[in-house]
Structure 1
Amino acid sequence: MDTTAPEFSLPNAAAGPDPFSVAHLPPETRFAVLFFQRDHYCTNCRNQVQEIADRVEAFRARDAEPVSVVPEPLDRVEQWQAEYDLPYPLLADADASVGDAYDQPVRFSLLGALSDFLGRMPQVVILDRNGSEANLEVVYTYSSDSTFDRPSIDELLATLDDLAADGETTSADG
């Protein structure tokens, strides 16, 4: 399995650099936790970004930066920021190219484009910067089976603790 993380740069509607790329994170940030959301209308996604905001300091205490990626144009992502005032990066992936690069496919192709419940499923990817951008690698993925299938924040924090302790690659499928 190739664990090299695809590079990207996306518009950021919230805290942090704009445009955002993992390379712009401070050197002391070892992990980037990418939350690939379904879409602008997803209630569970909206709840998740708020829960992440409530626990952002727990991520940062583990040298990790949470980053939400929404497959929508910047104006829609800006609506989330206006509503939730998120203290971490909230990225607009208007053409869904970053989601595609990280293997967050649209389920059922054309039907997925027509129906919210058949479209993209949420996904979480943890990247380990390991001290340099040249070593950026995917060390954890969680691919959801439904809009409700997401790892809890506590599970992700425990995973970050494990990764920091032993550096092993982990994969979880819902």
Structure 2
Amino acid sequence: MSVAPPFELPNVGPGPDPLSLSRLVTDNEFVLLLLQRDHHCGNCRKQVQVFADWYDEFRARNTEVVSIVPEPRERVQTWQEEYDLPYPLCADPETTAGSEYDQPVRFGPLGRFSDLLGRMPKAVLLDCRDGDPTIVYTHEGSSTWDRPELDEIYAAIDEHR
């Protein structure tokens, strides 16, 4: 387990704007970060909707879901307008959080230049119960389709409770 890097990002979904990890820690036992590929990614759009449909299951486990999109606030805002997500939706235009959480990027310099080509999805579960968030689970996508199943994430939360 390693200490979770702090962040503060613009939030276009429910919750404070900007949203900081320190604020999330005070209100939740666990935080699930969904690091998305980019604004155009169809699999990312599907994932945020699925997690919205099952959001009550996360809240029952005192877990906050936070989706982080490596795009400017205006682009991320269109997701919120379209999907009305019940959890924070953060813009990370400089890919600060993605870099801090070691979001995988394929194709070397070309992948770093274009999120569409190189950035892969990643899910990170943080245990916040002692006030010092630690990373207790990660799922690094090896392709745009490689994302954790809901049951896998629920099991990780339940295992660390």
Q: TM-score scaled to structure 1, two decimals?
A: 0.87
Q: Kindly indicate whether residue 146 of structure 2 is the aligned counterpart of residue 149 of structure 1.
A: yes
Aligned to 1:40: 39
8 Å CA contact 2:104, 2:122 repeated in 1: no
Aligned to 1:77: 76
What is the RMSD of the two structures over their aligned residues, measured on CA atoms?
1.5
For 2:8 and 2:60, how far apart are their aligned partners in 1?
25
Which digits, 9 at most, give the CA deviation of each residue in 1:18-60, with x for residues without a partner?
1001221374511000000000000000000000100111001
> Which stretches of structure 1, 4 residues or longer, exceed 3 Å deviation after superposition?
none
For 1:26 and 1:115, how far apart are their aligned partners in 2?
29
For 2:142 and 2:149, how far apart are their aligned partners in 1?
15
Aligned to 1:106: 105
- Please say which of residues 45-54 and 22-31 is displaced more in the overlay: 22-31
Cα distance change of structure 1 residues 114 and 102 upon mapping to structure 2, 3 Å threshold: closer
Which digits, 9 at most, give the CA deviation of each residue in 1:47-83, with x for residues without a partner?
0000010011100100100000000000000000000
Aligned to 2:29: 30
For 1:14 and 1:30, how far apart are their aligned partners in 2?
20
Paired AA for residue 160 in structure 1: I
Aligned to 1:87: 86
RCO higher in 1 or 2 (8 Å CA, sep ≥ 6)?
2
For 1:121 and 1:75, how far apart are their aligned partners in 2?
22
For 1:90 and 1:136, how far apart are their aligned partners in 2?
20
Aligned to 1:54: 53
8 Å CA contact 2:8, 2:18 repeated in 1: yes
Paired AA for residue 141 in structure 2: S
Report the identity percentage.
51
> What is the Cα deviation at residue 114 of structure 1?
4.1
Aligned to 1:171: none
Aligned to 1:163: 160
8 Å CA contact 2:11, 2:19 repeated in 1: yes
For 1:14 and 1:94, how far apart are their aligned partners in 2?
16
8 Å CA contact 2:28, 2:129 repeated in 1: no
Cα distance change of structure 1 residues 3 and 25 upon mapping to structure 2, 3 Å threshold: same
- Please say which of residues 87-96 and 148-157 is displaced more in the overlay: 148-157
> What is the Cα deviation at residue 109 of structure 1?
2.8
List alignment gaps of at least 5 residues for structure 1.
Answer: 165-174
